[in-house]
Amino acid sequence: MTTKAATTSIPIHDIIARRWSPRAFDAERSVSSGQITSLLEAARWAPSCFGDEPWRFVICNKSTNETAWQQALECLAPKNQEWAVNAPVLILACTDSLFRQNGKPNRWAQYDTGAAAISLCMQAVDLGLAAHQMGGFDPDAARSAFNIPEQFTPMAMIAVGHQADANILDEDFKAAELVERKRWPLPENCFDGEWNKSVT
Amino acid sequence: MTTKAATTSIPIHDIIARRWSPRAFDAERSVSSGQITSLLEAARWAPSCFGDEPWRFVICNKSTNETAWQQALECLAPKNQEWAVNAPVLILACTDSLFRQNGKPNRWAQYDTGAAAISLCMQAVDLGLAAHQMGGFDPDAARSAFNIPEQFTPMAMIAVGHQADANILDEDFKAAELVERKRWPLPENCFDGEWNKSVT
């Protein structure tokens, strides 16, 4: 199985370093309901502004609700469908644009939902699963398929399953699966006390 | 020291369960530059749409740049200043509203920045530090203090340091520090294949 731990200048925690977004999923291995609960518990304990928990997750598990899973799959961009078809679980992450307590706009809704979603992905690593978040899906199609009210915004579709060997992928995807992971150098995005003064 | 591991129906990974947002920080213990690098590396490896990495972090370390740290402190809501004054590092998390590759709006900018920021907070747990994100600060004051360009949005100030005993806090904060952590039950925010059909 392809493992692509992050290359860092200094150690970081294992589940942060080992989390990445593979495309090779094993269509024959389902995710148990206990595993799904664990993923959702991890997301649940993310922090949020005023404790609002603006995230909502729609779980589409092929093993228990193939209709919902098929609907989720069909919302994906065609290139994503090619590989995500092997992921036994697709989870739609949505965010509530309004605070529960007063109905006013929550400017942290998306920020907090991103935190909950990556917590779910890290928990997947801990369970020996893989998770791959996609922005490449049609949010209007998702809204229609899952009857999502206006105040909620579909943010990401998360493919979850057991990783498979990169050889199951076609050549383009296989190359992407095996290439080294890259990030901007730290000084590009991290500043020392003032804007654009890079950390050293 | 107060530990408030999440109460879950099924186990989740230790650094996810143990991450919480204390207010009692030890003003006498600084955070090393190696620890700060580790925090930033954890954030760096978060996923982002098109690999854009829309997050920017301004590190205000009292030990190395007291002026910047003081500026960050003064951006906070007065109630937050009362306890955050003991945090030796304040990190301003900002997000780039535009994609680097084409200058178009990035609808995942805040979502991805939230993921990077919580990765930083989890890495703090791994290092034996504590991190507490705050939305309670004046974004305009932060923009002015740190010369933040228009296309970037200040999202959160993150207090980082060594945790201290809850007894250093005044009575109101101490009560909050010691109260049980709470979240909505899973079925409130997690749906099974369709909107508002709660997971069981």
**pLDDT tens-place string over residues B60-115:** 999 999 999 999 999 999 999 999 999 999 999 999 999 999 999 999 999 999 99
Residue of A nearest to B69 (CA): A193
Q: What residues make up the domain containing B98? A: 14-189
Task: Indicate the residue type of B9.
Answer: S
Which of B13, B119, B183 shows the shortest C-beta gap to A126? B13
Residue A29 scores a pLDDT above 90: yes
- Does any domain span residue B2? no
Closest among B57, B9, B29 to B157, alpha carbons compared? B57
CB contact under 8 A, A119 and B118: yes
Closest-CA distance of chain A to residue B153, Å: 10
pLDDT tens digit sequence for A81-90: 999 999 999 9
Query: What are the angstrom distances between the C-alpha of B142 and each of A134, B87, B115?
Result: 32, 18, 21
What is the phi/psi pair of residue B158, to 5°? -115, 115
Q: Any residues with CB less than 8 A from the CB of B35 and at least 6 apart, and which?
A: B127, B129
- Does any domain span residue B6? no
Which of B46, B95, B148 shows the shortest C-beta gap to A118? B46
On whether any CB of chain B is under 8 Å from the CB of A86, the answer is no
Distance CA A156, CA A80 (A): 12
- Does any domain span residue A184? no
- Does any domain span residue A48? yes
Question: What number of H helices and E strands is found in chain B?
Answer: 8, 5
- Does any domain span residue B42? yes
- Does any domain span residue A128? yes
What is the phi/psi pair of residue A82, to 5°? -55, -40
Mutate to test the interface with B, among A16, A119, A132, A148 (most CBs of B within 10 A): A16
Q: What is the CA radius of gyration of chain A?
A: 18
Q: Tell me the CATH number at B31.
A: 3.40.109.10
Contact B157, B133 (CB under 8 A): yes
Average pLDDT over residues A8-30: 95
- Does any domain span residue B49? yes
Give pLDDT, residue B2: 87
ipTM of the complex: 0.98
CB contact under 8 A, A111 and B114: yes
H or E element at residue A163: none
H or E element at residue A152: strand A152-161
- Tell me how many domains chain B contains: 1
CB contact under 8 A, B117 and A117: no
Average pLDDT over residues B149-174: 97
On whether any CB of chain A is under 8 Å from the CB of B80, the answer is no
H or E element at residue A144: helix A139-146
- Does any domain span residue B82? yes
CB contact under 8 A, B38 and A122: no
